Amino acid sequence: MNPIIPLFKRELLEFKKHAFSIILFWVLTPIIIHTLLAIPLSRLITMDIRYLNWSAAGVWITAAGMVAFLQSATRMRKIQFESQQIDALLKSPISNLDLIIINISRGIMYGIGQLLVAIVITSALNHEYQSLGNMLIIIIQMFTLILHFSVLGTLIGMLVSNHISFVNVSFILFLGVTMGFGNFIPLKYYPSSYLSVISAIPTTTAFENVRSVILYGPFNWAGFFLTLIGTILICIITLIISHKVFRKI
């Protein structure tokens, strides 16, 4: 039997055990982001379209991305620093790659769940529904972003042992996602010098893709593939570092 299967089954059992609280969290998260960020900013930002419809992409990205990041990061920190699981795992047939894959998969599973719930919530709140074709493109782009955040969470969870430092990193990431990449404040409001920096980051284009699809605009496939390539590179770096951190070759 593939050693990764028991780990995956354990994740499913844990989900079933806490299903109610997880689903409640999925429901409340987009509502809170919509209420505390989107609605106040809608009174300050003027756009050619309705701001709350445009900012729905920001709600999806923030909710699903941060859930994927936190789930993968907290699980990796628990394995590496907060329990003795790593000692048992290193003595088992499970390889570093197996452990990283299941950890990333956990983030993806929770991130996709959050995304689907967030789409339903924002669609109901804004009374706007996407076409099937648009929704398919949105899910494809969001999957790469959820994968990106999950891989990033796995790397951070592996490296950051101090709880306060981890909270600070998570908060900085949240601020960056919400306020630094145009997800709630249109990029035209940012200084040109700042735009020249973040425009070089493929993730910025991936975020813009989600917003563009909502507006039936063009999809930048270069940004999509560059984000995917960047995610793969981070994953490779994570695997290399794991051989040092876990002391297993």
Local confidence pLDDT in tens for the 249 residues of the chain:
566 777 778 778 888 888 999 999 999 999 999 999 999 999 999 888 889 999 999 999 999 999 999 999 999 988 877 666 666 666 666 778 888 998 999 999 999 999 999 999 999 998 888 888 888 999 999 999 999 999 999 999 999 989 999 999 999 999 999 999 989 999 889 999 999 999 889 999 999 999 898 888 888 888 899 999 999 999 999 999 888 777 543
Sign of the torsion formed by the C-alpha atoms of 156, 157, 158 and 163: positive
pLDDT value at residue 215: 83
Record the tokens describing residue 50, joined without a space. Answer: 């309705």
pLDDT value at residue 248: 46
Q: What's the pTM? A: 0.90
Looking up tokens 């987009």 gives 30
What is the radius of gyration, based on Cα positions, of the chain? 19
Please name the residues in contact with 88: beta carbons below 8 A apart, sequence gap of 6 or more: none
Q: What is the largest CA-CA distance in the chain?
A: 60
Distances 62 to 33, 112, 232 between C-alpha atoms, Å: 8, 12, 21
